């Protein structure tokens, strides 16, 4: 794989509406753009527009590039996210995402 740079803060990330079953408030949309990574890892840029949604997580580490959100982990903490924060989510965690300002993150997870 060639060495390269991805301008993660300015990359165009097309959005789609979330499935209705995941939406708790507003009309949030999400989008992701995968980027080339090393073997065994998925890497990409992901966004979530303002609103509240639920998810069941995969193992993931991410860094917030822009925006603000609170992620309530069922049976665990509420994570307040802001630019520069590094977060670790475990597979199977049930979460509720309250996105205050469109959240953009770079994620790394094991290849599925």
Does residue 1 surpass a pLDDT of 80?
Answer: no
Q: How far apart are CA 8 and CA 25, in angstroms?
A: 28
Tokens at 23, concatenated: 């939406």
pLDDT at 2 (0 to 100): 61
Q: Where exactly are the structural domains of the chain?
A: 42-110
Longest dimension (CA), the chain: 43
110 CB burial (10 A radius; 0-12, 13-18, 19+): exposed
Each residue of 41-81: pLDDT tens digit? 999 999 999 999 999 999 999 999 999 999 999 999 999 99
- What pTM was estimated for this model as a whole? 0.93
Torsion of CA 75, 97, 18, 35, to 10 degrees: -100
Q: Which fold has domain 42-110?
A: Jelly Rolls (2.60.120)
Query: Measured in whole angstroms, how far is the alpha carbon of residue 15 from the centre of its chain?
Result: 13
Q: Are 103 and 77 in contact (CB under 8 A)?
A: no
């Amino acid at each position: 794989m060639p060495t390269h740079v991805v301008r993660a803060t300015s990359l165009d990330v097309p959005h789609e509406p979330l499935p209705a079953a995941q939406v708790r408030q507003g009309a949030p949309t999400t989008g992701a753009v995968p980027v080339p990574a090393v073997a065994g890892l998925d890497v990409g840029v992901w966004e979530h527009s303002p609103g509240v949604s639920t998810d069941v997580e995969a193992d993931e580490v991410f860094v917030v590039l822009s925006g603000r959100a609170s992620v309530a982990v069922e049976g665990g903490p509420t994570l307040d996210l802001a630019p520069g924060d590094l977060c670790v989510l475990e597979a199977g965690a049930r979460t509720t995402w309250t996105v205050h300002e469109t959240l953009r993150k770079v994620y790394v997870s094991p290849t599925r």
